[in-house]
């Protein structure tokens, strides 16, 4: 997978802000970010797992069911679906994110965007969105 975020402001922000990085808040924000992508380019198989992550309801049975759905989605033929599913799996499996994990998740989402849009169009837009969203979280 290409490193989509290497030359972005969000990458620099995550590097610079890693000492004051709030992994729980960033996790919630990245779940919402994946939901934002899902609203633009919906996949039916991801509806329940995204809702599960947003609602933060954690029962063992439901967790296993949602994780199984995401594993199926991650192995489908559609690359953008694979990438969003991988991002969601990382979010589901990690309680508190590190800056490096956040960058990995964002890169998965950017890879998914690259399947649907020209990088010159989505990278500046998504970089600005994430900087605004995550900067407020990492600078508090």
At residue 134, the pLDDT reads 87
* Global model pTM greater than 0.85: yes
CA distance 6 to 11: 6
Token pair recorded at residue 26: 């960033």
CA distance 126 to 113: 9
Domain ranges (residues) in the chain: 9-138
CA distance 82 to 73: 6
At residue 19, the pLDDT reads 62
CA distance 97 to 102: 6
At residue 139, the pLDDT reads 46
| Res 26 pLDDT > 50 | yes
Task: Report the Cα 82 to chain-centroid distance in Å.
Answer: 12
Handedness of CA 74, 79, 84, 87 (dihedral sign): positive
Tell me the per-residue pLDDT of 36-55, one tens digit each, with 9 for 90 and over.
Answer: 999 999 999 999 999 999 99
CA distance 126 to 30: 12
């Amino acid at each position: 997978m290409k490193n989509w975020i290497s030359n972005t402001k969000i990458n620099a922000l995550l590097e610079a802000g890693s000492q004051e990085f709030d992994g729980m808040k960033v996790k919630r924000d990245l779940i919402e970010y994946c939901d934002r992508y899902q609203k633009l380019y919906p996949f039916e198989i991801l509806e329940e797992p995204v809702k599960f992550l947003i609602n933060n309801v954690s029962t063992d049975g439901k967790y296993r069911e949602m994780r199984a759905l995401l594993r199926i989605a991650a192995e489908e033929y559609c690359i953008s679906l694979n990438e969003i599913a991988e991002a969601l799996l990382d979010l589901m499996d990690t309680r508190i994110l590190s800056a490096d994990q956040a960058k990995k998740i964002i890169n998965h989402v950017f890879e998914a965007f690259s399947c649907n849009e020209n990088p010159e169009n989505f990278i500046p837009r998504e970089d600005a969105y994430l900087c605004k969203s995550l900067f407020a979280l990492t600078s508090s």
